[in-house]
Amino acid sequence: MTKKLDEVARFAGVSAVTVSRVLRNRPGVARETREAVLTALDVMGVERPSAFRSDRAPLVGLVVPDLQNPVFPGFCEVLAGALSKQGLMPVLCTRTADGVSEANYIEMLLRQNVAGIVFVGASYADAGPEQGRALREREVPVVLINAADGHRGSALISVDDEAAVEQAVAHLEALGHERIGLLLGPAGHVPSVHKLDAFARHLRRRGREGELSRLVAHAMFSMDGGAAAAPRLVEAGASAVVCASDALALGAIRRLRREGLVVPRDVSVVGFDDSPYMIATDPPLTTVRQPVAAMAAAAAKALVEQIEGRRLPVEEVLFEPELIVRGSTCTAPATVAARGGGGHETGS
């Protein structure tokens, strides 16, 4: 224990004597020094003195499903910077291959008496009812970015998924594509449900609602998922595919190439997120950009306001996406063997 307290002292930049005074709640310790020691205790996994356990540690959990999708590190980078400026310490929590889940992280964060949690592309409902109940009972401030389920009662920051599909479909129709496929994430995933709703409305307006089941496919959010699902949409006659993530789009392009098709000459492909390096793929990916920086900044602001005791409106805050046209879309082929044009990069 003495060795552990020495580590706490080094982390806090104080003497072991000062750490001892804080642990005993002795007078004469400056507020800033006490907070530094308490933070060090949290980081080192040492239980706080009972007198300070009701205080929130300046730790904020950033819970993401994985780090394979580059949009998640993008959100975390902006969140970490914004929270650090407020004197808060972000802690990255992501599911691991060896079974560490959202539930495990929530339990660990609660033990550290965190100031709050931001869920990116996930929700505490994914972890289980016990964890959700514990967060509510402890009144831990929570913000959800692009929540994976229909949870209400927490601050919600989302991209307008319906507008994203409308932009992508309008772009493809302007290029002459009549049969457009939609490649989504797992059934029940709320952002995918919103995209599906927009696509269903599009088909109804054209009197083609009966084609919905043939022109929609679901897959896990990965390149493998995109590769597995894309051929079914092309077999259904789609000359273009709108994907719910850039990873799905890249997987679809790779599989279509293996099938002997050329993107965009034979099939146009649209992604979603505008992850880093999508301009450098082959072909450069046409995609719908999420305003990651603005959304992350809004989430950080909403969390800080909750930590400071201010109540937030429960309405979901929607951010407008932006279609970025590059080289993976072009004029629809007149026949299966037709040749189309190239692409270019613009923002619209």
Instruction: Say how many Å lie between the first and final Cα of the chain, rounded.
Output: 60
Mean pLDDT of the 198-216 span: 96
Do the Cβ atoms of 239 and 267 come closer than 8 Å? yes
**CA 51 – CA 16 distance, rounded (Å):** 19
In percent, the amount of the chain with pLDDT more than 70 equals 90
Q: Given a cut of 80, is residue 54 above it in pLDDT?
A: no
What angle (nearest 5°) sits at the alpha carbon of residue 199, between those of residues 179 and 176?
30
For 9-44, letters b (16+ CB in 10 Å) and e give bebbebeeebbebbbeeeeebeeebbbbbbbbbbbe
What angle (nearest 5°) sits at the alpha carbon of residue 73, between those of residues 257 and 181?
35
pLDDT of residue 149: 80
**CA 13 – CA 62 distance, rounded (Å):** 26
Q: pLDDT tens for residues 107-151? A: 888 888 889 999 999 877 666 667 778 888 888 899 999 988 866
pLDDT band for position 51 (cuts 50, 70, 90): low
DSSP string, 121-171: S--HHHH-HHHHHHHHHHT--EEEES-SS---SSEEEEE-HHHHHHHHHHH
Tokens found for residue 283: 């072909």
159: left (phi over 0), alpha (psi -120 to 50) or beta: beta
Tokens found for residue 329: 């879309």
pLDDT of residue 138: 83
Between 174 and 22, whose confidence is greater? 174
**CA 32 – CA 81 distance, rounded (Å):** 21
Tokens found for residue 24: 């005993």
pLDDT of residue 334: 76
Least confident of 28-42, 119-133, 227-241, 312-326: 119-133
**CA 30 – CA 9 distance, rounded (Å):** 15
In percent, the amount of the chain with pLDDT more than 90 equals 59
